[in-house]
Structure formats: C-alpha cells, structure tokens
C-alpha cells in the first residue's frame, strides 16, 4: 500500500512538472543593444538588434513596388521618452506614399499546442503630421510579405481626438477610446490550437478573436503604418510561448 502511494505521488509530481513547464522567450528587444541616433535621420539608420530572435528587414514601398529603407531607427531621450527600462526605444515614420514596415522572426516557431503571449509598449503622438496609426500582424514561419494569420489596427479617429482599435475581421472600429500622447501596454494571448486570441490595451480586453486564416504554427510579426506621414513609437517587445505538455 505504501509503495502504491509513493508511485501515485511520483506520477502526480511528474504531471505538475509537465503542466508547469517554463515559458520560452522567442523574441525580445528593449532597443538597448544599439547606439541611438538623432530622430529622424534617413541617412544614418540605427536599426534595432534584438536580444532574442531577429529583425529581418526594414523597408518602405513606393508606387513601383521597389523596396527601399524607411525611417525606422532606435532613438534616445527624444519626446515622448522611453516607456521601459533604459533610455532607448524604436521610432517609425512613414514618409509620403512610402509604406514603412518592420519585419521580425522569432527564434523558433511555435507548435500547434503552444499558448503564445506578445507584449509591447506603443505610443501615438498628436504632433505627428498624420495620426493614421499603426498596424500589427503575426504570421506563419514560412510566409513572405504581409499575409497575416492575425493582426489588428491601432487607428486614430480625428472626430473624437483619440484612437480606437480595429480588430481583425471587423468592419467597424471599436467604441473604446484610447488616449494619444501616452504609452499603452499591449498584450496578446494566442491559442494556436483553437485559432483564437485575446487582446488587452489600456485595461480593456477583447476576447475570443478569431484568426484570419487557420495555421498550425506562428513565427513572424510585422509592424506597419496605416497612412502616409504617420509616426509611432515602440518599446519592450517580448514574445513567449508556453508549451502545453502531455501528462507525464
């Protein structure tokens, strides 16, 4: 009897260990790995270098579809100032008709049983020439271009002098208003197996949002602009996933 209890406790211990497997960080950048430059400077880029994972390209596209570098650079102690630890953060500006984008690869792709969290700080300034806002998307590991499994737009609404979310698959802006000229923390919680996710910003959570296309794995992300002349800032980007372990 005693040996049976010992065996049961051992099995339960393995089960709890499996369920409590540590999350794996697959992308991280606080923008402190790079010497910052004056903003904006089209001739002296300070491209970010992630601590985990990698930025793969920074570009803008003109009317003929040719890729060219955009004004995306690490800056230091320029208004509005950094959101997190350290003094650096990322500034991105879309110039005229050019569509500035920043693409990043995670260190490893998720499995179909992974629960993924994505965190970053985001700022939209009222001094921007155009406050169209920022787009964010998450992609399959092998995808090219801007095709996204899921993504959302952080849109400026001039009538209410604030900005709203446009969630993936929605034809209308959300009614919750978020202040400009302040840092907001954004958090995604993504369930690859169910093809759903939740999004939290400014203490408002949108639940049970659906993927745009079904996927079995995720491994890339892209930040982009919604209109010409817009500017936004980013800091402290972290992507983790928690494997859903089989019981021991």
Residues forming a β-bridge with 54:
105
pLDDT digits 0-9 by tens, 147-178 = 789 989 888 777 676 777 777 766 666 767 77
Q: Measuring CA to CA, which residue among 199, 221, 222 is closest to residue 210? A: 199
Choice between 11 and 92, residue whose per-residue pLDDT is larger: 92
Query: For 20-46, what is each residue's pLDDT tens digit?
Result: 568 899 999 999 998 888 777 766 778
pLDDT at 46: 83
pTM, 2 dp? 0.84
| Dist CA 123 CA 178 (whole Å) | 11
pLDDT at 73: 86
Compare 52 and 148 and report the one with higher pLDDT. Answer: 52
The residue behind tokens 């491209």 is 47
Provide the pLDDT confidence category of residue 220 given band limits of 50, 70 and 90: very high
Is the per-residue pLDDT at 17 higher than 50?
no
Query: DSSP labels for the chain?
Result: -HHHHHHHHHHHHHHHHHHTPPPEEEEEE-S-SS----SS-SSS------SBSEEEEEEEE-TT--EE--EEEEEES-TT--SSSSSEEEEEE--TT---EEEEE-SS---TTEEEEEEEEEEE-TTSS---EEEEEEE-TT--TT--SEEEEEEEEGGGTEEEEE-TT-SS--S--B-SSSEEEEEEEEETTTTEEEEEETTEEEEEEEPSS--S---EEEEEESSTT-EEEEEEEEEEEEE-PPP-
List, for residues 188-204, the tens digit of each pLDDT value. 999 999 999 999 988 88
What pLDDT is attached to residue 199? 92
Mean pLDDT for the chain overall = 79
What is the per-residue pLDDT for 11?
41
| Portion of the chain with pLDDT greater than 90, in percent | 30
Say which CATH architecture domain 23-243 belongs to: Sandwich (2.60)
Q: Where are the domains of the chain?
A: 23-243
CA distance 42 to 101: 14
């Amino acid at each position: 009897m005693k040996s049976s209890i010992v065996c049961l406790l051992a099995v339960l211990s393995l089960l709890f260990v499996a369920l409590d497997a540590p999350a794996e960080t697959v992308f991280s950048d606080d923008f402190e790995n790079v010497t910052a430059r004056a903003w904006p400077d089209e001739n002296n880029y300070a491209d970010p270098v992630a601590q985990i994972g990698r930025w793969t390209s920074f570009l803008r596209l003109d009317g003929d579809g040719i890729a060219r570098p955009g004004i995306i650079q690490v800056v230091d102690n320029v208004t509005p100032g950094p959101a997190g630890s350290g003094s650096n953060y990322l500034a991105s500006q879309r110039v005229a008709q050019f569509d500035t984008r920043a693409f990043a690869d995670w260190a490893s792709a998720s499995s179909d049983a992974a629960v993924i969290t994505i965190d970053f700080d985001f700022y939209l300034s009222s001094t921007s020439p155009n406050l169209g806002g920022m787009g964010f998307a998450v992609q399959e590991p092998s995808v090219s271009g801007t095709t996204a499994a899921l993504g959302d737009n952080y849109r400026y609404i001039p009538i209410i002098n604030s900005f709203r979310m446009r969630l993936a698959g929605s034809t209308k802006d959300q009614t919750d208003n978020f202040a400009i000229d302040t840092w907001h923390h954004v958090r995604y919680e993504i369930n690859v197996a169910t093809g759903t996710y939740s999004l939290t910003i400014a203490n408002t959570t949108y639940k049970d949002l659906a993927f745009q296309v079904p996927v079995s794995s995720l491994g890339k992300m892209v930040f982009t602009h919604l209109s010409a002349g817009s500017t936004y800032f980013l800091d402290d980007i972290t992507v983790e996933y928690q494997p859903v372990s089989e019981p021991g």
